[in-house]
Amino acid sequence: MSLTVTESTLNMPTSLAEDKLIHIDAVTQQVFSTVFELTGREGDKIQENRPEQKFLKGLSVSLSQVRDCLQIAQVIHNSMDDLPYFSDFLIVKIHGETRTVEELLSGGHLAKPVKFRLKVRVKLPDNDPFLYSLITANQISEYNVEELPPTSWLAENLSRWIQPGVKKMVVSSLKTANEFNGLIFFFSKSQDTELAPYYSLVRGIAAQISVAFTCFTAVDKMKVMECQQEVGIFRQQILDRDRDKSTLIEISNDMSAIRDKNDLLSVLHKRLKKLFNFSHTLMTLTNPVTKTYTGLIFDSKSASKKKHPDYKRICDAHYSINDPVMAAAFASETSLVFDLDKLMLHPDVPEWITMNYNSGIREMVITLLASGSNHIGSFVIFSEKKHSFLNKELGLIKAISSALGNAVENILAKEEIIEREKEKTILLSLSKDMAQIRTAEGLLKFNKEKLKKVLPISHLLIFTMTDDENLYLPYLLDPDSVCRSHPEYERITQNPIPISDWVSDQVFLSDHMQVFDLTKLAQTTTLPDYLRMNYECGKKEVIYHVLSIGKKKTGLLVIFTDAAGGMDKNQLRLIQGISSQLSTAVTNIIANEKIEKQFKEISEYKLQLENMNVYLQEEIQTTYNYSEIIGNSQEMNKIFHLVSQVADSQSSVLILGETGTGKELIARAIHNASTRKDKAMVKVNCATLPVNLIESELFGHERGSFTGATERRIGKFELANNSTLFLDEIGELPLDLQVKLLRALQEKEIERVGGKTVIKTNVRIIAATNRNLQKEVKEGQFRPDLYFRLNIFPITLPPLRDRKEDIPMLASHFLAKYKKKGSKETMHFSNKVMKELVAYSWPGNVRELEHVVERSILLASGTTIKDSSLPVSSRKEMEEILPDTVIRTIDEVERDYIVSILKKTNGKISGIGGAADLLKIPATTLSSKMLKYNLKKSEIKRI
């Protein structure tokens, strides 16, 4: 009974038991100390200051601090180093009245640490003379172990209790004046050691142990008496604990069958309502990545659900774990009770607490939910009354929360499995859709119809990287982006972005997805323009994922959301899975675009070659078959010199001269001597084309651009790309087309009729005319800007009448050409005919000479041409089309004009009456032009 009460006492709260036990233990230790010292002094008249006396004094002090038999044996065990003549010991506690052995304790130098050999009482044999002689002996007994009576109970069991090799033993009974407690044995492994000198020491040790046993019995009785008054209170506490334990067991059993959040909530209401009164509960889930928490399981009985219009938004919102309430919960190891009247005085109270307070809640308990060492959330119990939760109930709530943590973890694990399966299904579906995407438009459609339905995103951007990975270029812009109304949208989305800002460094150095709160980011660093633009348009969070193929980074996926922390870990993981597929999709789209562009270029080249072939066939049938230009006169040598000067340049050439002087031949000579000679020169005769078809002939047209345009046509500018375009009879070009031609020459780009795209061209222009363009410009029939643009390098061809020495050579050339066709191989000119040919003025020039020679061959009857077939009536010589003036460049004209004005103002540049005032231009512009033409005020008068 004493043992049972002692264990109960040790398990009782210290506030109820320890105060009484401390007083009892103090008295007990004082008694032990006094008795042990007296025993030590009286034991067998031990002389003062001997080692045994010192040993017994130390033993007395040690035994005064022990509380049970095991501790007594431990003290003797620890003292064996001071008893080298004994190897180990054995204590046998015997109840004389019941003749039973209760405890056997052993220890020593060679023994293991002191331990119980027997915990239950064993009945001693009735007939064992040797054993009972030891019990009744009043003095120390010494025996050889081998000489013990083999039939004795002690001899039979002693070999199991002592170390091997023991030779002798010394035995003393443990007695006091009124009580026998047992026997103590000291063993020696030396057969020759004399143990008699140590009998007095053994007796002293036995006396102190006997007193200790007696004191324990007395103290136990005192404790029983003192504690009986508290048994009723302790019994009630034990009953309360048993009830709590039973509740926890019931909750644990119920939770083993929980399948989802609704089951968990049902169990809580079923069990907790039996323990204490409350309004409703709430469980939150912590996100360790974003340092936030949000609602996980909501009680349908919450009054706020019915009363508050923003209940769902507030419950689904994300709150910082550093708010005053949750920070206090994280810092505490126990359940915390909050008085909401006091808590509402704090300025940073989370909105969900304010909502419950406004619904009538006045007290709440928060306990952290944990699974292992990880905090996964919190458990909150609300009450409409204060002081609803006693201190003893907080411990139960804490215990329940521990079980809830595991249950919530299991629910989350199940939901994770379900979410993963759902995620796989979504990824498979999206993967199938993305595999069919071939264009950027298809990707935008996928984003709108698929991606935004499974993820709460505002809009996205996709960037591609340059090969050197120093820039990323906007590739795919979401048409639904609210930023399209931003004033800087066009500039920001059309320019490459350097990979040099802090955000880019963080993104590209990481192998994982990066999530940034734009509000916090804007407070800590300078945002790149595209992030600043989105932040100014109300976006709160940006998610980055690097697109890559293998280890090569190919681009960047940027997703914007309207709220910070708006995506849970499952949605972020879904983005991670989608991003890898997007990398492949974007790479394929870019590759397809390159292939389509190459196919388009190949098709255009093919069409150009086909058109070129048709054009060359037409040229073969229509052009002159001159192998060279015929002429050796001084005038022609000048022309040849000019051709050699301009051929290698890229400058435009204007060829002037009368009809039939060979302007096209000179154009071909320039082309054939240029770097573009590997491609055919393309020719357009502006005088032979209908006005409504000239534009289509020059620039081409798209199918359906006008009536009769049944297919797309490549214009002469495209045919002449990287070659030479010869515009014959340029003076016949209408004024409205002169504007378009000027633009094509200046910008080096054209647009097909009915087309929407600009086509870059690299064409050298050679123009020719028999008109006096200067006169046309003065009369408004030709645009001056186009004239100056064409007149960079003019070449004026002389009429045939000015190079009569070339006529015999030309006539012989034409004779050789046409006599083969007429099968008159031996035909030649008579002297008379040749003189007539040289004397004639040739208003039709070389072309007229060719036709006269061909007609003379046809009319000749013999081998000699005796009649030149020239016109019978003389005609007036054709006036020269071009006046004999020096053609100057626009810069030369402008320079001379500026000089004349400066002379007129006597060198005054600015101010009223200055040259700039007269020219109606800023003085700075005039100064720039003077610098351009190397004009100085000091030199104006000399000019």
Concatenate the DSSP letters of all residues of 827-859 into one string: -EE-HHHHHHHHHS--TTHHHHHHHHHHHHHHH
What was the pLDDT predicted at 116?
A: 53
Q: Are 283 and 296 in contact, with CB atoms under 8 Å apart?
A: yes
**What is the rounded distance in angstroms from the CA atom of residue 653 to the CA atom of residue 791?**
7
Q: Are 746 and 787 in contact, with CB atoms under 8 Å apart?
A: no
How large is the C-alpha radius of gyration of the chain?
59
Task: State yes or no: pLDDT of 40 exceeds 60.
Answer: no
- Supply the mean pLDDT for the chain: 78
Alpha helices in 649-749 (DSSP H): 663-672, 691-699, 716-719, 735-747
Q: Indicate the range of 403-417, 502-516, 699-713, 912-926 predicted with least confidence.
A: 403-417
- Model confidence band, residue 49 (pLDDT cutoffs 50, 70, 90): very low
What six digits make up the tokens of 830? 């008579």
Mean pLDDT of 536-559: 84
**b/e code 649-677 from CB counts within 10 Å (16+ = b):** eeebbbbbbbbbbbbbbbbbbbbeebebe
**What is the rounded distance in angstroms from the CA atom of residue 601 to the CA atom of residue 585?**
24
Q: Residue 431: in which H helix or E strand, if any?
A: helix 391-435
What was the pLDDT predicted at 12?
A: 36
Q: Which of 757, 756, 759, 754 is nearest to 707 (CA)?
A: 754
Task: State yes or no: pLDDT of 623 exceeds 70.
Answer: no
- Cβ-Cβ contacts under 8 Å for 81 (sequence gap 6 or more): 109
The residue type found at 456 is P
What was the pLDDT predicted at 11?
A: 36
What was the pLDDT predicted at 165?
A: 84
pLDDT tens readout for residues 311-340: 888 888 889 888 888 888 888 878 888 999
Mean pLDDT of 477-489: 87
User: 260 vs 770, which has greater pLDDT?
Assistant: 770
Q: Are 691 and 830 in contact, with CB atoms under 8 Å apart?
A: no
- Look-up of token digits 């309360």: 240
What six digits make up the tokens of 260? 């989802």
Task: State yes or no: pLDDT of 516 exceeds 80.
Answer: yes
User: 613 vs 720, which has greater pLDDT?
Assistant: 720
User: 229 vs 601, which has greater pLDDT?
Assistant: 601
565: which DSSP letter?
T
pLDDT tens readout for residues 818-874: 877 766 667 888 888 888 888 888 888 888 888 888 888 888 887 888 887 787 543
- Model confidence band, residue 20 (pLDDT cutoffs 50, 70, 90): very low
Q: Which of 783, 786, 555 is nearest to 652 (CA)?
A: 786
Taken in order 72, 78, 81, 87, the sign of the CA dihedral is: positive
Q: Which of 827, 814, 888 is nearest to 625 (CA)?
A: 814
3-state secondary structure of 888: coil
Angle between helices 735-747 and 691-699 (to 10 degrees): 10
What was the pLDDT predicted at 21?
A: 44
What was the pLDDT predicted at 624?
A: 38
Backbone angles phi, psi at 728, to 5 degrees: -85, 145
Q: Which of 200, 201, 202 is nearest to 185 (CA)?
A: 202
**What is the rounded distance in angstroms from the CA atom of residue 686 to the CA atom of residue 246?**
108
What was the pLDDT predicted at 50?
A: 66
- Please state, as a whole number, how many other Cβ atoms lie within 10 Å of the Cβ of residue 238: 14
Alpha carbon of residue 211 to chain centroid: 80
- Look-up of token digits 């509380």: 67
Q: Which of 192, 221, 180 is nearest to 94 (CA)?
A: 180
Q: Which of 46-50, 141-145, 603-607, 700-704 has the highest mean pLDDT?
A: 141-145
The residue type found at 35 is V
- Please state, as a whole number, how many other Cβ atoms lie within 10 Å of the Cβ of residue 268: 23
The side-by-side arrangement of strands in the sheet containing 292-298 is 319-320, 292-298, 280-287, 374-383, 363-371, 336-339
Q: Are 332 and 326 in contact, with CB atoms under 8 Å apart?
A: no
- Please state, as a whole number, how many other Cβ atoms lie within 10 Å of the Cβ of residue 192: 7
Q: Which of 47, 27, 39, 55 is nearest to 175 (CA)?
A: 39
Alpha carbon of residue 6 to chain centroid: 65
Task: State yes or no: pLDDT of 2 exceeds 50.
Answer: no
- Look-up of token digits 């331990």: 115
Q: Which of 546, 555, 559, 542 is nearest to 480 (CA)?
A: 559
- Model confidence band, residue 885 (pLDDT cutoffs 50, 70, 90): very low
Q: Are 897 and 925 in contact, with CB atoms under 8 Å apart?
A: no
Strand partners, 144: 168
What was the pLDDT predicted at 223?
A: 52
Q: Residue 94: in which H helix or E strand, if any?
A: strand 88-95
Q: Are 339 and 308 in contact, with CB atoms under 8 Å apart?
A: no
pLDDT tens readout for residues 643-659: 888 988 888 999 999 88
- Look-up of token digits 């007796």: 203
3-state secondary structure of 864: strand
Task: State yes or no: pLDDT of 768 exceeds 90.
Answer: yes
Angle between helices 199-227 and 14-42 (to 10 degrees): 150
What was the pLDDT predicted at 818?
A: 82
- Model confidence band, residue 221 (pLDDT cutoffs 50, 70, 90): low
Q: Are 621 and 471 in contact, with CB atoms under 8 Å apart?
A: no
Q: Are 848 and 814 in contact, with CB atoms under 8 Å apart?
A: no
Query: What pTM was computed for the model?
Result: 0.36
Mean pLDDT of 692-720: 82
Q: Indicate the range of 562-576, 617-631, 783-797, 846-860 predicted with least confidence.
A: 617-631
Mean pLDDT of 704-724: 82
**What is the rounded distance in angstroms from the CA atom of residue 402 to the CA atom of residue 352?**
24
What six digits make up the tokens of 408? 């919530």
Q: Are 653 and 647 in contact, with CB atoms under 8 Å apart?
A: no
User: What's the chain's length in residues?
Assistant: 943
Task: State yes or no: pLDDT of 780 exceeds 80.
Answer: yes
Percent of the chain with pLDDT strictly greater than 70: 82
What was the pLDDT predicted at 794?
A: 92
